[in-house]
Copies of this chain bind each other. A is one copy, B any other.
Amino acid sequence: MKHNSENYRSNCPINFVLETFGDKWTLLIVRDLMFKSKQSYGEFLHSNEKISTNILADRLQKLEFAGVVIKEVDKKNKSKLLYFLTEKGKDLLPIMLEITAWSSKYDNKSNTPNRFIQALEEDKVGLSLNILEQIP
């Protein structure tokens, strides 16, 4: 695995996030951490999109390297590892909310609960994470 943090294609802020999240998998891991309270390798592995094990390991490393995620030993089970969002990772919340809002408007198949949409409209950002656990 390689970390390409040095050779950015430009100094554009849009490009900056693409360097880390510009693929089909990385943001799904963030979603699982942020909205689904998943925190272990196996939980990520069994998401609907069926990420394969090598890709998952690669993306977790990249997210860790990017400072979006940290890995810790489970205090209750020393042989288990848990992943957590850092502050930098949690700060992706507004982006995730806007993405959800856009999809909810334009994808008739995306089944975001209405009560979530409503909460979104009432208080665009700064939502508590609890309400988000309802997202499919």
Interface size class of A (residues with CB under 8 A): 35 or more
Check: A15 CB closer than 8 A to any chain B CB.
Answer: yes
Check: A115 CB closer than 8 A to any chain B CB.
Answer: no
Q: Which residues of B contact A125 (CB under 8 A)?
A: 124
Q: Which residues of B contact A128 (CB under 8 A)?
A: none
Check: A72 CB closer than 8 A to any chain B CB.
Answer: no
Q: Which residues of B contact A13 (CB under 8 A)?
A: 99-100, 102-104, 107, 110, 112, 135
Check: A56 CB closer than 8 A to any chain B CB.
Answer: no
Q: A94-B98, A98-B94 are in contact. Are A103 and B28 (CB under 8 A)?
A: no
List 18 additional contacts besides A10-B49, A13-B102; criterion CB under 8 Å: A11-B136, A12-B31, A12-B48, A12-B49, A12-B136, A13-B103, A13-B107, A14-B28, A15-B28, A16-B109, A17-B102, A18-B27, A22-B23, A67-B106, A91-B105, A94-B102, A95-B98, A124-B124
